[in-house]
Amino acid sequence: MRRAVGALLLGTALLGGTACADTGTDTPPVDRAVVRQDPCAVPDGVLADAGLTVPPYQRGTFGVEFTGWAGCIWRDSTGTRDLAVYVGPPSIEEFGTGPRYSVDYRPVGPATLAGRAVVETADRADPERAERCYYVADLPAGPVLLWARTVPGTTPPPGEDVCGTARRVGERLLPLFTG
């Protein structure tokens, strides 16, 4: 099994109905259709349990290539890592090969996160994924991206690289975006 690293592209096929996700916390049930439309709707308790700030650090997406996506960015409790979830309109094929994305992002290989098959993806600016990690999930409603990055000018505490942060947080958030 490949090492599961990267940020996550997550999603759900449940656009029209309400479904509950068992997150292992005492938070109320999650309406996955709402979370799919607005990743910032992830419950505060789940975010806090994952070590992320509440409220989000930034609403919306970062980068012109993600215009038309819905997204949310949180900062971790150390203030040294950002974690984002974007839900997008293009197909997984477009994300991997389309001109809007293929210049800056390239698939590295298959991986597994929270029991789901995902595609590990690298950023052209950080091909070794030392400061940024990405995961993409291909779901019927469209791809979802979860990414993690080290905040520029900070030094994260020892013991967990940026990909480890993406894995740890992704294990908590991915179930909220899957059917």
Q: Per-10-residue mean pLDDT for the chain, 179 residues long?
A: 28 29 53 83 92 85 78 93 88 72 83 85 88 83 86 93 87 79
| Surface-to-core class of residue 53, CB atoms within 10 Å of its CB (0-12 exposed, 13-18 middle, 19+ buried) | middle
User: Within a 10 A sphere around the Cβ of 33, how many other Cβ atoms?
Assistant: 17
Query: Sheet of 116-123: strands edge to edge?
Result: 58-59, 70-75, 81-87, 144-150, 132-137, 116-123, 105-113
Amino acid 36: pLDDT = 78
DSSP lists the bridge partners of residue 137 as 144
Q: What is the pLDDT of residue 179?
A: 53
| Assigned token pair, 172 | 């908590």
Residue 121's alpha-carbon distances to 67, 93, 102, 147, 148, in angstroms, are: 19, 13, 11, 9, 12
Closest CA to 85 of 2, 26, 12, 20: 12
In whole angstroms, what is the distance from residue 76 CA to residue 108 CA? 25
Question: What confidence score (pLDDT) does residue 148 get?
Answer: 94
Q: What is the pTM of this model?
A: 0.76
